[in-house]
Amino acid sequence: MSDDGALVLFSGGQDSTTCLAWALERFPRVETLGFDYNQRHRVELDGRAHLRETMAAMNPAWFRRLGRDHTISLDALGKISETSLTRSTEIAFEAGGLPNTFVPGRNIIFLTFAAALAYRRSLGHIVGGMCETDYSGYPDCRDDTIKALQVALNLGMDRRFVLHTPLMWIDKAETWKMAKDLGGQPLVDLIVEDTHTCYLGTRGERHAWGYGCGTCPACDLRAKGHAKFMAEAVAE
């Protein structure tokens, strides 16, 4: 049994699409996992198959390595984000910049389900787009959280999983640059046209950096990162 394959947490957003390319460059077998837990993410989830097919068509090695896609329904998370929010926590979230759909510890839950699936699929590596550099305030994106979780999962499942977070210490401009380095302009174009990171989940207007409301924290980060990336590309 070989465990040199990877499972990528793949929502269909910019970060997870970049992580999928990163994994396809490194691992002989790559499977993807999406979580279905509220309406906001339908736009992202619906685009996943298209992103996977397009990326496989970009590169023969990626085509060979890309394996199965999995979707896990986590209705309970939707229940927490939709019904458990009191007015006072809503105001606190708005002040702190966290979206109202925020579910505390969401990434811990995602990675735990991912590890359970990776165990069954004999995949030794789990890849996620968590980032501490310009994260939107999610404490479970922090490197210490991920490292602690790796230890907990390995103890709790008696396996040797390695949790990879290739975006942990880079900013959004560098995430765009990473996509370009991995997949060239076709991957950058695919990310602009077909990935969604907007908190509102609407396609909205087409900006230079892609689709989205243009004003939520996720759109703001994506737009600023893209502008910096383009400015640096011109300067080179």
Residues 28-87 that bind Zn ion (CB under 5 A): none
Report yes or no: 168 and 132 within 8 Å, Cβ to Cβ. yes
Query: In angstroms, rounded to a whole number, what is the distance separating the alpha carbons of residues 131 and 143?
Result: 8
Query: Considering the complex, what minimum distance in angstroms separates the CB of residue 68 from Zn ion?
Result: 31
Supply the minimum distance, in Å, between the C-beta of residue 94 and Zn ion.
15
Count of residues for the chain? 236
Q: Pull the structure tokens for residue 66.
A: 């890309």
| Segment interacting with Zn ion (CB under 5 A) among 42-50, 164-172, 175-183, 216-224 | 216-224
Is residue 213 a contact point for Zn ion (CB under 5 A)? yes
Q: In the bound complex, what is the minimum distance in angstroms from residue 152's beta carbon to Zn ion?
A: 33
Write the binding mask 178 to 207 for Zn ion: x where contact by CB under 5 A, - elsewhere.
--------------------x---------
d(CA 229, CA 139): 26
Q: What is the CA radius of gyration of the chain?
A: 17
Q: How far apart are CA 140 and CA 5, in angstroms?
A: 25
Please select the residue that binds Zn ion; options are 219, 221, 223, 226, rule is CB under 5 A. 219
Which residues contact Zn ion (rule: CB under 5 A)?
198, 212-213, 216, 219
